[in-house]
Structure 1
Amino acid sequence: MASTVADKRSGYGQLLRTPGAWTFLLPGFAARLPFAMLTIGIVLLVQDTTGSYGQAGAVAAVTGVSMALFAPQSGKLADRFGQRAVLVPGVIVHALAGSALVVLALSGAPLWALFAAAVPTGASVPQVGPMVRARWAARLQGSPLLQTAAAFESVTDEFTFVVGPVLATALCTGVHPAAGLVAEAGLTLVGGLLFAARRGTQPAHGRPAGTGRGRTSALSVPGVRVLAVAFLGIGSVFGGMQVSLTAFSEEIGQPGVNGLLYGLFAAGNMLAGVAIGTIAWKVGPRRRLLVGYALLTAAASLLWTAQSAALLGALGLVVGLCIAPTLITGYTLVDSLVPATARTEAFTWLTGAVALGQAAGVTAAGRLADGYGSSAGFVVPLAGTALALVTLMALRSRLSPPAGGRVAARGIGHRAAVTVD
């Protein structure tokens, strides 16, 4: 039965033949690439102007926390009023706020002023990834291709994190310390407006019939809260790696190698995502998530021991290989736990959790790297994933779809596991 499903699914080729897919995929990629440049662009700019990884991490953390707090509200508004209505003003505000942050950093403004600019910069980050996932879900209701779409989106995310940090690092080190953040703001504006223009593939929006004035948040679903904790741990890996790899590269006197090291980490994530989308799973998503997270924690526990760029690159690749399965499975589980009317909001809660974990990871790793060196900063991914793994194990029962099948009502039959797994 599993092989039959795999044949019908046939992987990415069939997925990309979905009518209308390319009309939102290409502008969606252009709009989400800058997000992968944001944190590293801030870290490199502020570290250059202040000389402190701690302050650079703190400014990046404010941006991440702001995004984490506002992203779910952006998703809720998109579900209610449509994606275009949220995106157009959002990308304009983001470009202006990012430009203000650049000007303040270069003018030697005090830290509080950088924080003040970082808040709107993070709050206005366009939630293009969740919006693309919502468009896939709207087009693939009831289709076994939904798992493949989740894998494809993870691959796309990680491809941006292969290209984005390398591009930002090259611009900051080869052109000007502010060039990475300037490019991020400009690309966000252009890409976001192009994506917003693709109205034909927007999911249906508006208040669901019979819901009255109130609307239940996706975060009220227990399983979504558990997954948010898991994604916080994944965010700590991203944040801890970005700062610690930068500090490590400075310590060995090769700042340019930072982009390559982070690219290896993201490449592992991307390669694993490609593989995940081609497998017809016989193991349920909850068990896959637990096993994948345990492997991620084990891999993260070795990062602080690396004493050479080659070993660190190899370990980063392994950590990346472990991240993609957990992200993909998490997004698949969310689709089985929440109703269609809260789909974009649910995805943005997870995206926001990653951003919040990344903010905490950047801050903690920056402080540790300043005080004790890059090896201490690599303890952050271990601590974040270990705490999240304990939570996942303790609350794993909440990751089961609701009895009676809310998902069945949405048309994504998760009771027959092979159609999704």
Structure 2
Amino acid sequence: MSHTVDSPAVETAAPRPGYGQLLRTPRAWTFLVPGFAARQPFAMLTIGIVLLIQHTTGSYGTAGAVAATTGVAMALCAPQSGKLADRVGQARVLVPGVLAHAASVAALIALALADAPLWTLFAAAVPTGASVPQIGPMVRSRWATALAGSPGTARLLPTAAAFESVTDEFTFVIGPVLATALCTTVHPAAGLGAEGALTLAGGLLFAARRATQPRPLSAGTGARGARASALSVSGVRVLAAAFLGIGTVFGGMQVSLAAFAEEIGSPAVNGPLYGVFAAGNMLSGLAFGAITWKTGPRRRLVLGYGGLTLIAATLWAVHSVPLLALLGFLAGLCIAPALISGYTLVDALVEPSARTEAFTWLTGAVALGQAAAVTVAGRLADAHGARAGFLVPLAGTGLALIVLLSFQSKLLPRGAGHSAIRAMGHREPAAVD
């Protein structure tokens, strides 16, 4: 029988790989710990900018626009950073990047507190976003390198994808709560300042772990991958378009929850509300990696977006904190299946030489969707209140669902059945030890 993405392989006789087995991968902890520290600040960046700029200007629309500029700059530069990391090595890209990011964040804070002209805030936001280190894609690429040695270890790649999604969402449980607490109890600039400091320290530590980074193309892994962009693969373009929808959920929720908390006179509740949303995502990711699925990742991707669109359709009508927390939690439950399925499909769609770049296209798409959502939701919240801002996630996820339903055939794996990693990308067996 020939396998397709949605035709699960029959592997019931083999033990299912779990998180415990994954974490026993040699040298995995040497990049996991610094990688977690380095990507933690990413969850603090947008909310840190929004809270600081809203404090200094009094406008969520202006704050959202500045944050959106950061997101657009990241979305445009992240894939180029990933492609360069594939070519010359992660450390050579990370070190100057984190130094530039820390300097740009410091400049943005200084300009905002000095009531500098608005155009200077946008000017500082561009290098701030462009220099955001792509730690998540780099960690995923290191997992793929560490697990590619044999079919036995390659079977752990779906588990690694689930683990990385959980790790990402754990940062979004901690990051917004931490940034909000710092901004509301210490100083309006404290959240963004902590983001810059953590990025610098964590990024340099991660860059120092050179032994686990994928071999760069310049070291002789092939010239073909250096010439071809991951975006030339139609499936990557479809996934990138779909991931814009997830970005609209992140951005729309951040701004709208902040505006909602302001409206009810309890700005400090914003952090916990967003933390509950991210906690749903994290718990869903844990469960997702523990289940042996009978359906392939294409179908799970569509189902995840369908559920997310359904939940997003109810947010605008909510007025109470407990109900909004519940719906946010349910929305979070739907995000992890979509993210994990999308990242798993990347391994089946692109060559290893373009893997980091492909991951950064998806991460950049999330950032771009988040940037657009922050801008639109901020304007709507200013003009019509927080309820209007919640319409943004609905529009974004609805459009993404239409894209997926229309172009599912583009997500078929390249060379399915010709390598263990490609086949594993759509079999996806995973269980908890």
TM-score normalised per structure 1 = 0.96
CA distance in 2, matches of 1:108, 1:222: 45
1:318 and 2:330 equivalent?
yes
Name the CA distance, whole Å, in 1 between partners of 2:362 and 2:179: 25
Give, in whole Å, the separation in 2 of the partners of 1:178 and 1:366. 19
Within 5 Å, give how 1:131-210 maps onto structure 2.
Answer: 131-141=138-148, 142=151, 143-207=154-218
Seen in structure 2, the aligned counterparts of structure 1 residues 214 and 316 have a Cα distance that, compared at 3 Å, is: closer
Alignment match, 2:121 = 114
Aligned match of 2:289: 277
Alignment-derived partner of residue 418 in structure 2: 408
User: Would the alpha carbon gap of residues 214 and 188 (structure 1) be closer, same or farther in structure 2, given more than 3 Å must change?
Assistant: closer
Consecutive unaligned residues in structure 2, runs of 5 or more: 1-9
1:210 CA drift (Å): 5.6
Unaligned runs of 5+ in 1: none
Residue number in structure 2 paired with 1:16: 23
Map Cα deviations across residues 59-78 of structure 1 (whole Å, 9 max, x no partner). 00000000000000000000
The percentage of aligned residue pairs carrying the same residue is 69
Residue 329 of structure 1: how far off its partner (Å): 0.2
Select 2:279's aligned residue among 260, 263, 267.
267
> Structure 2 vs 1, CA of residues 239 and 287 (structure 1 numbering), >3 Å: closer, same or farther?
same
Which residue of structure 2 lines up, in the alignment, with residue 33 of structure 1? 40
Shift of 1:140: 1.2
Once the 2 structures are TM-superposed, how far is the Cα of residue 211 of structure 1 from its aligned partner?
A: 3.2
Q: Is the 8 A contact 1:280 1:418 kept in 2?
A: no
Separation in 2, partners of 1:287, 1:25:
30
Distance 1:111 1:420 in 2: 51
Q: Distance in 1 between matches of 2:59 and 2:254?
A: 15
Q: Per the alignment, do residues 417 and 206 of structure 1 end up closer, same or farther by CA in structure 2, a change over 3 Å counting?
A: closer
Conserved in 2, the CA contact under 8 Å of 1:2 and 1:281? no
Instruction: Measure how far apart 1:419 and its partner are.
Output: 4.9
Across the two proteins, how many residue pairs are aligned to each other? 416
Q: Can you list the C-alpha shifts for 1:316-340, whole angstroms capped at 9, x where unaligned?
A: 0000000000000000001100000
Residue pairs, 1:376-391, within 5 angstroms: 376-391=388-403
Matched residues in 2 for 1:418 and 1:185: separation? 40
Does structure 2 conserve the Cα–Cα contact (< 8 Å) formed by 1:144 and 1:420?
A: yes
Compute the displacement of 1:412 (Å). Answer: 0.6
- Aligned mates of 2:385, 2:143 — CA distance in 1: 43
SS of alignment partner, residue 256 of structure 1: helix
Q: Which of 371, 376, 390 in structure 2 is aligned with 1:359?
A: 371
Describe the superposition over 1:145-173 as per-residue Cα deviations: whole angstroms up to 9, x where unpaired: 11010000000000000000000000000
Residues 57 and 183 of structure 1, relative CA distance in 2, 3 Å threshold = same
Structure 1 residues 221 and 248, CA, compared in 2 at 3 Å: closer, same or farther? Answer: same
Query: Structure 1: how far apart are the matches of 2:235 and 2:382?
Result: 37
- Higher alpha-carbon deviation: 120-129 or 299-308: 299-308
Q: Which amino acid aligns with 1:274?
A: L
User: Aligned partners of 1:111 and 1:209: how far apart in 2?
Assistant: 47
**Within 1, Cα distance between the matches of 2:322 and 2:94?**
41
Deviation at 1:2, TM superposition (A): 4.3
Whether 2:358 is the aligned partner of 1:346: answer yes
TM-score scaled to structure 2, two decimals? 0.94
Judged with a 3 Å threshold, the aligned counterparts in structure 2 of structure 1 residues 340 and 367 are, in CA distance, closer, same or farther, namely: same
Give the whole-Å Cα distance in 1 for the aligned partners of 2:428 and 2:96.
Answer: 39
Distance of aligned partners of 1:213 and 1:341 in 2 relative to their CA distance in 1, 3 Å threshold: closer
Structure 1 Cα separation of the partners of residues 365 and 383 of structure 2? 27
Cα RMSD between the aligned structures?
A: 1.5
Aligned partner of 1:288 in structure 2 is: 300
Secondary structure of the structure 2 residue equivalent to 1:302? helix
> Contact between 1:62 and 1:115, CA under 8 Å: does it hold in 2?
yes
Alpha carbons of structure 1 residues 302 and 4: separation in structure 2 relative to 1, 3 Å: farther
Cα deviation digits, residues 166-198 of structure 1 (max 9, x gap): 000000000000000110000000000000000
Q: 8 Å contact 2:217–2:226 — kept in the other structure?
A: no
CA distance in 2, matches of 1:214, 1:148: 28
Q: Who is 1:130 aligned against? A: 137
The answer (yes or no) to whether the contact 1:282–1:418 under 8 Å persists in 2 is: no
For residues 265 and 387 of structure 1, what CA distance do their matches in structure 2 show?
Answer: 21
1:95 alignment partner, one of 74, 98, 102: 102
**Large movers: runs of 4+ above 3 Å:** 1-5, 207-214, 415-421
